[in-house]
Structure 1
Amino acid sequence: MKKYIIYTAILAIGLVLGYVFFGPSAEGSVNSKKVTDLSEDVNHSEEHQMWTCSMHPQIMQPEPGDCPICGMDLIPAETGAEGLAMNEIKMSDNAMALANIQTTIVGNISGTDDNKITLSGKIMANEEANAVQASYFEGRIEKLNVNFTGEEVRKGQLLATIYAPTLVAAQQELLTASDLKESQPGLYKAVRNKLKLWKLSESQIDQIESSGKVRENFPIYATVSGTVSQKMAEEGDYVKQGQPIVKVSDLGTVWAMFDAYERQISQLKEGQKVTITSNAYPNKEFEASVSFIDPTLNTKSRTVSVRATLNNKENLLKPGMFVTAKVAMTKGNTMEIAISIPATAVMWTGERSLVYVKTNPNEPVFEMQEVTLGTKNGENYTIIEGLSNGDEVVTNGTFTVDAAAQLQGKKSMMNASGGKTMTGHEGHLGMENLNNTVDAAKRMDVASKFQEQLKTVFDDYIMLKTALTNDQSEKAKTAAQTLQKSLTQVDLALLKDKNANNHWAQLEKELKASSNEIAQTSDIKTQRNHFISLSAHLINAMKAFGINQEIYIDFCPMANNNEGAYWLSTEKEIQNPYYGQAMLNCGEVTETVQ
């Protein structure tokens, strides 16, 4: 018994000694593994750590060193953009709020209309009910009783009075022939018929004959009732026989004209019922039937015209009004619903149409996407290619997102290829090459008159910039108000090219919004915040249209909460509007626009 007790004691002592000597070693092994893993993670993190300059954040290098521009020591770059794709850009919450960047989900997400085709179009006058009132004889319009387009006329109403020299001679023939009607009845009848061909009534001819006097002025009466849709002559005009004077439309019925895409044609047929709605009466539906499908396809837009005739006895529908139609699809058809986006989402370069897509639903991450546009219906474009159902696109502040993409060397409107800056001395050259690429972008060909008007806008901008430079908030407020007036004087009609016209329309909207914010406040900090967006959009305009003057694009890396901001100047000397007298010479010239 004593022997078993001794054996048990020896075993217990052995277990204790084993734990004492070998337990820490095993734990050390585990800790050693943890330290090794941590070291690997640190090394892995260091491999992906980028280094930047606090004064020139466009510089990115994979290792520490000196800034190739100013020579300052590089600092570790923030890792907030980690995980972004090559051409994705992440905006800060401050930048999103400042630029009022808004997004819209495109396509049909709910699926409630999956069994219907949606067509966009507009109301037109029913051409079958149109009538042209012409002059039946040659002469001068002495009196025109139609005063304006849209005026209502009734059948039999006096439209115009015309002095007709040819009728004067014909009346004289009538008076002569009336004296010979007994002896030469054939001649008398021929003269009367001649006057009838000029639409003179029997009573008018009898009155001339009985009075024995020649009339110089003759009336023209309306042959139909309706609305004057076009005045085709003015009082005092000399008109030929058969020349139109006014166009009258009967708006008791109107046409709804729609564009249907090639892939939708098989779902449409004449007599098909459609439900039509309009922005003017959002809660009212109009029932109609397809009355005509154009037999030819528009090769540019790849669409056909589809027409429905609508009863308009209440005169609710006006020609030019935009409408939407829903057409039931054939059962079992899985045709894709066409996607449309607001026109404010689209940027034009002269050759490409671009939008910014939000690639992360939970964070403000965007990427530029090239799209192919279809027809424009109201303030929306139909997308033929480039977007999918459910994509979220930037619909307000698009140019601000694009400016941020340019700053970070990502694909942008003026830089189709994108690309990060390089390291060391090559990095400096890489930035210069990027600027040259921007300068070499295709400038839109516009009228010199438009450039002169844009020059006035630029001069007012310089006044605003100078006021901010001198810390004069009241003068900045006044300059912004003057800038707004100059923007209203820019004539959009001078831009004959569609892309140039659309491009300026978007820029003008952004410029007006930013200048309006500056003009409504005397707080210079708020003014400077909105000056960031104003400058970004005006820089875009200067590059796209030019003003026949050499100007400089300056950059301050510390402005906009150290995210950097640009402005325009007429001289090379830096005069910083974002910090004014506090840091007047902070910044550098990055580009020269010829």
Structure 2
Amino acid sequence: MKSTAALALAAVIAVGGTAGGYWFGTRSATPPAPAADAKPARKLLYYRNPMGLPDTSQTPKKDPMGMDYIPVYEGEAEATPAPAGQVKINAERIQKLGVRTETAELRPLGAQIRAAGRVEPDEQRLYTIAPKFEGYVERLHVNVTGQPVARGQVLFEAYSPELVAAQREYQIAAQGVESLKNAGNEAQAGMKQLAESALIRLRNWDISDAQLRALAKSGAATRTISFQSPVAGIVTEKKAVQGARFMPGDALYQVADLSRVWVMADVFEQDIAAARVGAPVKVRVDAYPDKSFDGRIAYLYPSVNADTRTTPVRVELANPGLLLKPGMFARIEINAGSSAQVLTVPTSAVIDSGTRQVVLIAEGEGRFTPREVKLGSRGEDRVAVLDGLKAGDAVVVAANFLIDAESNLKAALGGFAPPQPAAASVGHKAEGVVESIDVSDGTVMLTHGPVASLKWPAMSMEFKFANPSLQAGLKPGAKVAFEFVERAPGEWVITVIRPAATTSAAHAGH
């Protein structure tokens, strides 16, 4: 009985083991369910140059610097390429780059010509006191250069033997005319002619009528004669010295009437066509930064300075309170605008290559078309468009060069290379250390770590700043995190830069 039970138990165990093995084998052979996050294999399109140059390859290779070409997979290139000559950027990139547009519109073009000049006395209001006879300075009444004088104020008294003799001659002739009243006509005529000759001689020496009347009334010759200021002004030159001898024609005093002055400005050659006689001008000087003086262009000189390529322009203006001093440095603004309506766009909308001018037309849905235009005169912040646009066209006025970097605009314009397959995103991120900064050139030398999006190894290279404000606070040795784009083949521009610690802290918070 015991042996029979043992055999039965062994049989049950064997059957159970066989069934369990079959069940376990069946479970192990069932293929696992696919993972939810598994991605399908991507199709390789081509390999592009790691430095962004217009060079692609169908097989892996290295550039002259030993860097591997970057693979571009299906889906990374533009799904629906833009028409030839058109640029397409997604909405996220447009917002990040800060693209802004304005419409071309008809409006008066306000033009301002700015130039530097200097204040000078009005040459028509300069007066020189120069005796016409020989004599001596007997007494000085005004003996300081720069002293203000009134019209008719005595400047100095002069003694001249020649003048005394001429006065005596006139007195004798006048007395002779009086004594010959009852004489014959011929005698009276001869004496009158002698008296008139003596009088003319005194007048030719600039003896005033008042002095001549006093001489005729007194009947005695005066030893000295007074010289008066012919105008109210400032003594700008004094050569008279008390007791000194002077000769006919010697300039003893110069008096300037500064109630009106000139500003002699140097206007650049390209602005001469817009400047015109009679145009209103605003003049400012450093001495009175809160004041402006109004004047008008009185004369455009007919010559150009070959060294500075400028033309002198004379501005005449009033000088209330004599605030403007000769020799002052002045800045002028000439209103050369016109009331005529012309088609204009903001100056920032124009991309000027030197040989042609191009604007970017916003077509909507992130599409931009470069269009060559012909420009006219320039205003304060706008420029006239003669050909290539019509009123209402939306043009890009901000981030033009970043669109250029984002889309390789030069290739789109067809000026440098044939169209290449669209590359992967050109916005890249990296971290590094600031080696040096060139503020004048707007560049920075960075030692950065590997750039995964470009498959760059760690290295040192030079970047440019998108705008000068990005340089603020940067110092050599600072650790930074930055984003950059390719503005032109081989030209890399930083669009965002911040301390690396801030970035690390932000990731830690997430």
TM-score by length of 2: 0.43
TM-score by length of 1: 0.38
Question: Which of the pair is proportionally richer in helix?
Answer: 1
**Greater RCO between the two (CA within 8 Å, min separation 6)?**
2
